[in-house]
Structure 1
Amino acid sequence: MLRVGLLGAGRIGQVHAVNIAGHDRSALVAVADVNTEASGKLAAQFGAEVRTSEEILADSGIDAVLVATSTDTHSDLIEAATAAGKAVLCEKPVDLSLARAKACKVKADASSVPVMIGFNRRFDPNFATLRAALAAGEIGRAELLSVTSFDPSPPPLSYIRVSGGLFRDMMIHDFDMAGFIMGDAPVRVHAAGSSIVDPAIGAAGDVDTAVVTLTYGDGRLAVIRNSRRAVYGYDQRLELLGSGGLLSAANMLENTVSKATAQGVVSAKPLFFFLERYMPAYAAEWSAFVAAVLDGGEVPVTLDDGIRALALAEAATQSARTGRPVVPEI
């Protein structure tokens, strides 16, 4: 049984608490958050103790921690946890700074404990099936990947100001997905972004609409499209063109009923919120982490993966600012 301390009791911490407590091979032992009301409520819900992060890290009876705190604390907590001999599952991104993330990896690598980065979309059954079909040679060689990721509405401006920007906060999932599908890192990143959803986002120094093209060393291409506004729901799609065919993963809809009449064909909208869309993926992600720690296998999403995605995010941020292609620092 994996005894787990949860660092962070916010929205995503609450999702993870459900999976930790509900898994037959893990137990939620303690919860920490700077908001003691939030940690107290979550701990009471699952029969865990309220502690500080320092107390959790110092407890030799806790085997692993899940880091769901603000991004600017991730590297510090990864370093402290691995130094204490605890396995770590840390929400994306590793850090807001690529240099800091690389320094964190050096310290974490000095320990022998597993560190996994929380890119949950790899565990979505649709995306995982698409990747497996590619690996099985069902469409030949991958040539052109298209990733669509549109949020139904922007987050609050208070979040935008501390998020690190759309490329580090939102599109970083898609950078990781491109690596997951294409198998390696691009040699060039070209990005364009604007603030057309909400001018206040632009005034805060961010963009809300962006397109990025990734060019790989062998000529393959990936195109990523992000928007903070899709009024019809949470739009998450993949399309992969190969030398022998096409693979695509469509949206998850509110239901599978469609109506066809002389006026046209109508179906349900996509699921509206990311938690509805990706709850199965979060559960599968946690199962993979537990298995890696208890059974001694490799974690499926490494610190290197997290650093690669962050490097692409930094390159895209620079490219969008200058209008020029950028070689990522991977």
Structure 2
Amino acid sequence: MSDLHLGLAGVGRIGVMHARNVVTTPGVGRLTVADVDTVRARSVADELGVEAAVDVDALLASGIDGLIVATGTAQHPELIRAGVEAGIPVFSEKPVAPDVALSLPVLDFIAAHDGVVRIGHQRRYDAGYLEAKRAHSTGELGWLHAIRAVTCDVTPPPVLFLATSGGLFRDCSVHDFDVIRWITGREVVEVYARGSNNGDPEIGAVGDVDTALAVCTLDDGTLAVVTASRYNGAGHDVRLELQGSAGSLLVGLDERSALRSAEPGVTFPTGTPHTTFAERFADAYRAEIAAFADLVRGIDGELCRPEDAVAASRVADAAQESLASGTPVRV
């Protein structure tokens, strides 16, 4: 299919970003968007020069070749099912469903209908993470003795969002859990988590933390430390460090890194740090949409399969449970 017709459900912040990427993706000839806010859907469609459908039923009936789901998490299961029932490939933002228990019936439905579904974990298309996977898979680093993953936002999202996000590990660190599994090919078998709240007390009032750390044990004994924070004033900081017996590699260390050296005479990095995840992973998001267009054409790539997305969510659930209990939790 040289001129694909893609559909997009949900035109919030991330939906609009996906829409902008779709219209610049080679081989995509048409885009139709839909949202429960039909006025907003029409406004976005007019701005981008694409079509708008009155609802998801009309979107699916418009003859789309593939569906992108960028709605709120609660709507993901029904829209994934709808796309699978329509017989078209589906790309959904993470997670599959609000929790693992609700995700499992969706996995069963996809399998029963031979559905083609992929989940949005964009780091799999970031150049640094791809290089880390290559270096590890070729044995250049030797065996890994330590993994350190960092995801820190500049400022927290609205407390109203945090009240329904599922917690810092589910909302933020799940991306780190996914790439750790993806790069190493190992499973996380135990998690021990701690958290703190030194920022807005309202974050604690809705049951979340603003900073957290999880010590993860992989099934081969490798240790991984995953940290996250909502208050990183230096900039949006996303890094992954692989320390091996033969070498070490650090993803996210460049001129725009959100840190500075304490050593005298060292001026690196000199660039302006990123401020948002959309800016930090702009190239990865574009590549992810291009990969979905390829998937619609029958060419598979590194897009995250729903089973892997749920596996990462299992680790996030264990981390949230450990955070609440104060004890290690088996995954």
Give the TM-score taking structure 2 as reference length.
0.93
Q: Secondary structure at the match of 1:116?
A: strand
CA contact (8 A) 1:134 1:140 kept: yes
Distance 2:265 2:136 in 1: 38
Post-superposition Cα deviations, 1:284-319, rounded to whole Å, max 9, x if no partner, equal 111222212203436631001110111111111111
1:197 deviation in Å? 2.1
CA contact (8 A) 1:160 1:204 kept: yes
Q: Which amino acid aligns with 1:247?
A: L
Q: Secondary structure at the match of 2:207?
A: coil
CA contact (8 A) 1:33 1:39 kept: yes
2:75 aligned to 73, 76, 89, which one? 73
> Equivalent pairs: percent with the same residue?
38
- Does residue 279 of structure 2 align to residue 276 of structure 1? yes
Q: Closer, same or farther in 2 for the Cα pair 1:304/1:46, shift >3 Å?
A: same
Partner of 1:168: 170
Q: Secondary structure at the match of 2:188?
A: coil
Partner of 1:50: 52
Runs of 4 or more off by more than 4 Å in structure 1?
A: 261-264
Partner of 2:111: 109
Comparing 61-70 and 110-119, the one that deviates more: 110-119
Q: Secondary structure at the match of 2:32?
A: strand
Q: Secondary structure at the match of 1:265?
A: coil
- Does residue 324 of structure 2 align to residue 321 of structure 1? yes
Distance 2:149 2:319 in 1: 15
Distance 2:106 2:29 in 1: 27
CA contact (8 A) 2:65 2:296 kept: no
Q: Closer, same or farther in 2 for the Cα pair 1:211/1:159, shift >3 Å?
A: same
CA contact (8 A) 1:151 1:228 kept: yes
Distance 1:219 1:86 in 2: 41
Q: Which runs of 5+ in 2 are unaligned?
A: none
Q: Secondary structure at the match of 1:82?
A: helix
Q: Which amino acid aligns with 1:314?
A: D
1:39 aligned to 38, 41, 45, which one? 41
Partner of 2:17: 15
1:263 deviation in Å? 6.5
CA contact (8 A) 2:148 2:225 kept: yes
1:110 deviation in Å? 1.9
Post-superposition Cα deviations, 1:137-175, rounded to whole Å, max 9, x if no partner, equal 111122211001110010011111121211111111111
Q: Which runs of 5+ in 1 are unaligned?
A: none
Q: Secondary structure at the match of 1:297?
A: coil
Q: Closer, same or farther in 2 for the Cα pair 1:224/1:107, shift >3 Å?
A: same
Distance 1:73 1:285 in 2: 21
Distance 1:136 1:234 in 2: 30
